Every structure is written in C-alpha cells, then in structure tokens.
Structure 1
C-alpha cells in the first residue's frame, strides 16, 4: 500500500468511527434556539434605536448590532456548510437569506471562495485566503510589491488588526463585485438586487432616523467592530501555520490537521468564534453541527496522536501573537513560510 493510500485509509477509519457514534446527526433544536435569540436581539436593537432617537448613545446600539451580526454570519456559515437541516435546499436558502437579507453579502461569492479554502488550506496556488492583495504570505508576494508595499509588508502584522476595521466594507464590496461581474447568472443578478436593496435600505434608514453626523458615526462603529470581530474569529485558524507550496499533494487528514489551529477556551471563546475555535474538527467534518465539534475533539486529538500527526491547540491571545509575528516575519523575509513537514514527501 502506498503512503497516499495508507493515509487515505486513516481518514476513512476516523470518519467511520465518527459516523458510528452518531456525531454527524443534525442539531436543529440548537440552531432554532440560536436563530430565535439572534432574531429577538435584532428586533430589540431596532426598537431601541427608534425609541432612543437623536442621541450619541446610539453608538452603544451600533456596537451591539455589530456583535449580533457577527452571530448571524456564523449561522450563515453553518447553513452554507449544510450543518443545520437535512435538506440541502433548506440549508442553501437559509444561508442565502441570512447573508443577503440580513448581512447584505453574497453567499454564492463567499461559498465559492470558502470551498476552495477548505479543499486546500494554506496552499499558495489553491487557497484564496493566502492570495490576498493586502497581506503577503510568501517572500515572492513581498518581492512583487513596490517600495511602499514592501514597507507596509514589513509591518503587516502590526497593521493586521487595524486593517480588520475595513473588513466589513470589503465584504460588502467583494459581494457586489462578484454578483455584478460580466457573465453573471440570473440567480447572481437576483442576489445582487437583494444585497443592494438591503445595503441601501439600511443606510437610508440610518440617515432618516439620525442626523448625518450621528448616522455616519453609527455606520462607522458598526462596520468597524463587525470587521474586527469577524476577522478576529477567522484569523487564528490558519495564519501562522505552514504554507504549502504550489503543486504539493497531501492526503486529506494531514492537509486539514497540519494547516489548522484550534483555540482553547470556554463558553466565551465558543460564542466569540462561532465554533471556529474547533478548526481542525471543522475542516475534517465540515457538515458537522457546531455544538458537536467539542464532543468529537478528544476523538480527533487521540487519533492524530496515534498516527503521528501534529495537533495544534493554543490560547486565543497566544494565537494572535503568533499571527502578528508570522506576518511581520514574512514581510521582513526573516521566516521561510514553507514549513509543512510533508512538503518534500509529497512535492509534485
């Protein structure tokens, strides 16, 4: 048996164990409860905005809205991964409604990008999350930039969290750019209308309810905090983990485990990261319901130890330190990002 066949069998055995234990069963009660709470909070915030009127205290509601919309984004993520319902169509429509009508983003754009990431995390020629124009993940990417770009790349770790304040605006813009591209399908054009209507209605409502200054401040706080919180939930999962060179072939188990990082913590971490703190388990079982991830973690950790696969788990603030240091080191050319232990074994 070849190494690839042996490693493929390893994941198959793990998947069989997880299925036999019933850990892939849907948890609809959990999701109905969470969606009801989120809907109630959204309605409460809207009512509070109307009752509060012309007041700078509206900025507290802007912050609250940002935090609730992050939870909506997590629910849309779970539904797009088909974790909630047995029906693929119900999952897809739920994700579309949450993303398009509530968040003002395109779920088709996000799903296309996110599926590519899941297929080959941290691989330079396949993962769109390491092909960003703002951040450089390889020395080659730094070398392609001009003097200002190289200066910024050398400090990109320190700039990472300030840049996340623009992530909310970037998500809206990227969604519309994808939906309005040349050759877009009829479904994309319909989604574009929904997303544009949601964004327009939200901005118009703010400026009708509040004076221009307060409305602008509300919008700025909401978008900035939303971007920081959402980015801070996704950032620790892969950044600072090995970068895989183009053309490298890895078996599924090692491709997902070695490039992912779990975050230790309790209820607060689970809430703040939407279950993405169990990133290894999520990548191994993308359709597994969020509340089940913590139950499968001991099984996965023990299985990785048994098969000699490095399993990475750190605290939240440690992960942020690693991310900042890694991005700065790559920008300075001080660290070779190609540190995957299987690169030489499976190089194309």
Structure 2
C-alpha cells in the first residue's frame, strides 16, 4: 500500500503543465501535440494508427481539438482508453480560462443531448433506403419490360441517377456514424451503400471527408479546396497563385470553364481515378472486393439488355448527371464562403465562416440530403440529419448572441453564388497577376 502511494505521488510529480506557447510549436510532421479538455497529448506516433486517418488528427497539431474531438466521437469512454498512454500534461490554468463563446457552444451541445437530438429515427432511414432500392429496381425493370428505346432508356437513366444521388446522401450518414452510433454496424452499412449500391470506396471517402470536416475551407488542410490546378477560390488563394506564377491556367475564365470541367467531370473522371488509386495503393481489400461486386452486379444486369458498349455509355451518362447533382449541392455551402489559411479558430466560428444553410422545404431537404442544414451538420456531424432543423434555431440564437454571421439562402441563389464567387476569385487572380508579372 505504501509502495503504491509512493508511485501515485511520483506520477503526480511527473504530470507537467504547459503554456500555449509551449504547445503551439509542436505542429510539425514528426512532432505533434494537441489539447483536449485542457489535457495535452503527444500524437506524433499515435496519429499513424488513428482510425480516422493520420491527417484529420494532425490538422489540429499545436491547437485545441476539444470540440472537434467531441464532434467526431460517439463513445468517449472507449476512445479515452487509448489516450492515457499519450497523455503528457495539462495546460496551465492561466492559459485555459473558458471564454464565453466556447462555454456557450458546449452548453448548446448538452441541450441537444437533453433534447434527444442525437437519437435516431430508424423508420426514417429504413424508408429512405427503401426508396433508393425501389428506384434501383425501377431502373432495371423499365428497360427489361419496355425495351431499350430512347424513352425507357431515359426513364431508366433518371431512376438510376436518383439512386446514385440519394445513396450518396445516405452513405454520408453511415460514414459519420450518425445512424446507429455503432461503429461496426454503421461501417457495415457504409460499405453496402457507398460500395455495393454506389460503386465507391468507404475508406477513400473517410480519408477525404473527415479532413474536410476537421478544417473546412482551410487551405492545405481541407482537400475540397485543393483545386489550384484548375481553380482558385476565396480571396487568399488567387493572390498566392498569381504571385507564385506556378500555373498557366486562365483563372479569370474559371467561372465559364467551370461548367465544362467542374460538374460534368468530377465524378466520372476525377473521383473515379482518385478512389481507385486510393484502394489499390493502400491495399484496401474490403473496398476492392465491394467495388468488384458492384461492377459485377451492374454489368450482369445491363449487358444482356444494352450490350457492352451501351452499358458503358449508360454508366457514364449516369455518372455525369450524378456529378452535376453532387457538385452544385456540395459547393453551394462552401465555395462562396471564407477560404483561408489555418488560424486555429474555435470550433463554432471555424464552421460558420466556412458554411451556410439553404432554406428548408420538402424538396430542398430531399434534394440535398438535409445538407441544406450544413452549418448544423458541421457543428454536430454525428447528429441524425432528420434532427438538424430542430437544433438550427438554437444555433442561430447563439450566433446572434456572439455577433457571428449565420447565412441562409434560397437554393437557386446558392447556385448562383458559386459562379459569382468563382468570377470574383478569377478577377482577383488576374489583377494580381498583371500587377506582378506584366510590365
């Protein structure tokens, strides 16, 4: 007993206190600390084994990751078991005083939990999956019974495009563990929806999308704004690109060529290449197996009806339409917003600066997969989507209290703003380029 007491005292003496100046310098590739709930953790080695990927956790190196940690994890007690081994100290009290904004947001989360807003309506997701499967059956039966003339062909294309668009939103829910809040079950259904129904990779999606949520619209951290080879976005990236003179793209025309290389090609070309490269280079055997199963199913069903050539055309025609749907919806919430370098912002303003909402309606909810409530989804990514509208008034009230911008737009206006923001960024690049490189 005495011996144990001595060890306890020794452990207490070994707990160190760090200032934020001490912590901020540990943001290098081979030297990474972060703070969760006032405790300091050395994630240098652990980040390589992090289930969500090394990048998503590394984006918070040298910063406070408390609210991001809470947003991504359902079972805190389970995760904390792994954190004991990498705990190295605490933040000194004088540097850890709670600011009102952070405190109010954490109270808002507690309110959401008391309102049972993290509780799933299983019937909602059952019906949603059922309507996706119904359209997949209709897509096949239309040409099976009515032939492959232009009218049944187009009806089948429309049905299958709805399948791909809607299962894209559904897999998003399973990927965030927001349906069953059970890692094994959600991951299983994630593989089924994104893999077997959609023909994409769950691991690739997790790798990309979790980074986006951790640091939305943050240059060099959010993969969704690493588009400088074709586009410049925001106010900072155009200036940087113009000064560096690294690209010969006519960015001042990007709001026009966006219609050619953006929505039409994102899915059938870029995503197709990236996800296949990801699963092969990282040897994601489960994802590879599910992808093979998808293509076996697809060609088994449609080659007898259309032949090989027309089946391939059918596939890419759907991918192009799906790509339009996804691109306009996903970019409407982010591209017109602030895009900047990492300033280690608090969780609430970080998400608000990078996201906006679209007006609620039955069609908007269905068409966007409830991502018209993008602000609320980014603040609470594990909240079931059917509850996002319930927390929205409370989020708006909190924003008004702290004088934070909370934007809600009509759907059409959000699409127009994509083009307008691309035009603005392109013109900013052009004027800066002429200033630095044209005599």
Q: Using structure 1 for the length normalisation, give the TM-score.
A: 0.87
- Between Structure 1 and Structure 2, the one with more strand by share is 2
2:254 to 146, 152, 156: 156
1:189 maps to 2:285: yes
1:238-278 CA-partner distances (Å, limit 9, x unpaired): 11101121x41100111112211101141111111001100
Mapped partners of 1:159, 1:272: distance in 2: 25
1:130-174 CA-partner distances (Å, limit 9, x unpaired): 112432221124555443x1x1x2222233343211122132221
1:3-31 CA-partner distances (Å, limit 9, x unpaired): 98313223211111111121111121110
1:42-73 CA-partner distances (Å, limit 9, x unpaired): 11221222122231221221122112211011
2:171 to 55, 65, 76: 76
Mapped partners of 2:208, 2:311: distance in 1: 32
Rg (Cα) greater in structure: 2
Mapped partners of 1:233, 1:66: distance in 2: 15
1:82-106 CA-partner distances (Å, limit 9, x unpaired): 1111322111110111111111100
Match of 2:154 in 1: 59
In structure 2, relative to structure 1, the CA distance for the partners of 1:146 and 1:260 (3 Å cut) is: closer
In structure 2, relative to structure 1, the CA distance for the partners of 1:173 and 1:201 (3 Å cut) is: farther
Mapped partners of 1:29, 1:205: distance in 2: 30
**Coordinate RMSD, CA, aligned:** 2.2
Match of 1:342 in 2: none
1:88 to 183, 206, 230: 183
Q: How many pairs does the alignment contain?
A: 328
Which SS does the other structure have where 1:258 is aligned? helix
Mapped partners of 1:120, 1:225: distance in 2: 29
1:181-206 CA-partner distances (Å, limit 9, x unpaired): 1xx24xx1231232134235424643
The structure showing larger relative contact order (alpha-carbon pairs under 8 Å, at least 6 residues apart) is 1
Q: Do the aligned residues in 1 keep the contact of 2:136 with 2:159 (CA within 8 Å)?
A: no
- Using the TM superposition, name which of 43-52 and 278-287 deviates more: 43-52
Q: Using structure 2 for the length normalisation, give the TM-score.
A: 0.70
Match of 1:307 in 2: 402
In structure 2, relative to structure 1, the CA distance for the partners of 1:4 and 1:33 (3 Å cut) is: farther
Gap regions ≥5 residues in structure 2: 1-93, 432-439
1:111 maps to 2:194: no
Mapped partners of 1:80, 1:38: distance in 2: 17
1:199 to 271, 287, 295: 295
